[in-house]
Amino acid sequence: MKRILISFQLVKCINRNQLAYVRVRSRAGFETERRGSHPYIDFRIFHSNSEIEVSVSARNVRRLLSFQRYLRSSRFFRGITVPNSSNILDDDYNGQAKCMLEKVGNWNFDIFLFDRLTNGNSLVSLTFHLFNLHGLIEHFQLDTMKLRRFLVMVQEDYHSQNPYHNAVHAADVTQAMHCYLKEPKLSKSLTPWDVLLSLIAAATHDLDHPGVNQPFLIKTNHYLATLYKNTSVLENHHWRSAVGLLRESGLFAHMSLENRQLMESQIGDLILATDISQQNEYLSMFRSHLDRGDLCLENANHRHFILQMALKCADICNPCRTWELSKQWSEKVTEEFFHQGDIEKKYHLGVSPLCDRQTETIANIQIGFMTYLVEPLFGEWARFSNTRLSQTMLGHLGLNKASWKGVQREQSGSGDDVDPAFEEMDSDILPQEPRLS
């Protein structure tokens, strides 16, 4: 079926009959989103022609590089010696990337540098390495070619035009998840199944993110908002897109249908937990468990809940990184917010909270974000896992908040302002997907 694209001005004319054009694949009663969704809004209008040309060019280069890597890895897996490349620089960069992977469990891991060293293939390289590091390939008897194909499809289904919600963010979240899986309480309790679900969910948690939030999709009558009844719209789409790629790749085709269905369902539970509008609900449950001291990681349900909390932490851990890394993420996510606000202004849609570049600043947004979302979550995580990593994250969080307050004082002459958008938001109106994650 040819992809259907209509102009932004006609979005509000979408009706139920047009949903028939949404091509989904169904098996065992579960519908998955197809690759390259969003047929009713041409998201290319969000970018200038030069940006589109650069994006297409970069994507073609990445695909060529992916194919080259496929050939080399294919020869390696067949036991064929790979001749020395004449491209010394490329080999040198690959060597540096391998050196970085030796420290993939360090909290100060620089995902931006790693992405450059892997020629924009950070998500594929890092996740494949983690699968191997955790022994998942051997334990689950995975076909390495199918695994690589799955990861390449996942990486390509992230939108490189998004300043924030792109494959580099997914790689960053996956690396953070790996750090949490190494924590003593978890490492001694988790099964290979738990680790497998965690890494897949982390790598795919924002799959095919359009760079706009749920309120935007709702007020433009996007078909996804209708499909998921305005509830966890993007998270549902990320999950079902992930399931679609898992099935398309055949990565787990050798497993029983029952195990595949269980995997798809539990991956969904993890991804849906990243819905920021459900933050208070999850935090309340977490706090109650900690107050009662009744978490038992020998219980599969309790382990799954902790993995949900771990993914939530990984998703919004940017303020807990070093200032150099955190500041970059802050700038990227704010630019994505402002980009949405520009579109909303252009088409008279009403600017969403945090998205107006004329009234908001990075400092105000970050201070509010840290105060109302990050600090409460990571405070409880430190209660659960009081380790050096937890204290390091809280230390960075405090320093980064102080740094943004310094910037705020320079801009406004007062250090006590907190973005009123955060104070006014409750669980019903808190944007679900301008997650600063």
Alpha carbon 300 to its chain centroid, in Å, reads 25
Give the dihedral sign, CA 379/381/386/391: negative
Give the dihedral sign, CA 379/381/385/389: negative
Q: Is the pLDDT of residue 410 over 80?
A: yes
User: Lowest-pLDDT range, 84-88, 343-347, 412-416?
Assistant: 84-88
CA distance 147 to 253: 12
Residue with tokens 């606000």: 341
Q: What's the mean pLDDT in 208-220?
A: 97
Which two structure tokens, joined as six digits, stand for 293? 């001291």
CA distance 151 to 158: 11
Instruction: Tell whether residue 168 is among the known ligand binding residues.
Output: yes
CA distance 320 to 331: 15
CA distance 273 to 305: 9
Instruction: Tell whether residue 315 is among the known ligand binding residues.
Output: yes
CA distance 164 to 413: 30
In tens, the pLDDT along 216-233 reads 999 999 999 999 999 999
Instruction: Tell whether residue 166 is among the known ligand binding residues.
Output: yes
Instruction: Tell whether residue 167 is among the known ligand binding residues.
Output: yes
Three-class secondary structure of residue 138 per DSSP: helix
Q: 226: how many CB neighbours lie within 10 A of its CB? A: 18
| Side chain identity at residue 330, one-letter code | S
In tens, the pLDDT along 302-316 reads 999 999 999 999 999
Q: Is the pLDDT of residue 287 over 80?
A: yes
271 contacts 204 by C-beta, under 8 angstroms: yes
**Residue-level pLDDT at 94:** 80
Instruction: Tell whether residue 165 is among the known ligand binding residues.
Output: yes
Active site residues: 165
What is the per-residue DSSP string for 15-84? -GGGGGG---EEETTEEEPPSS--TTS-GGGGS-HHHHHHHHHHHHHHHHHHHHHHHHHHHHHTTPPPPP
In tens, the pLDDT along 86-115 reads 333 455 668 899 999 999 999 999 999 999
Cα distances (Å, whole numbers) of residue 332 to 83, 166, 328: 40, 11, 6
Long-range contacts of 216-220 (CB under 8 A, 24+ apart): 216/340, 216/344, 216/349, 216/352, 219/349, 219/350, 220/8, 220/11, 220/12, 220/41, 220/349
Q: Is the pLDDT of residue 418 over 70?
A: no
Mean pLDDT of the chain: 83
User: Lowest-pLDDT range, 49-58, 99-108, 148-157, 241-250?
Assistant: 49-58
Three-class secondary structure of residue 221 per DSSP: coil
Instruction: Tell whether residue 22 is among the known ligand binding residues.
Output: no
Instruction: Tell whether residue 205 is among the known ligand binding residues.
Output: yes
CATH architecture of the domain formed by 8-81+88-424: Orthogonal Bundle (1.10)
Read off the pLDDT band of 66 (50, 70, 90).
very low
Around 96, how many Cα atoms within 13 Å sit in the side-chain half-sphere? 15
Q: 77: how many CB neighbours lie within 10 A of its CB? A: 12
Q: Is the pLDDT of residue 402 over 60?
A: yes
User: Lowest-pLDDT range, 38-52, 100-114, 254-268, 288-302?
Assistant: 38-52
N- to C-terminal Cα separation, the chain: 34
CA distance 435 to 437: 5
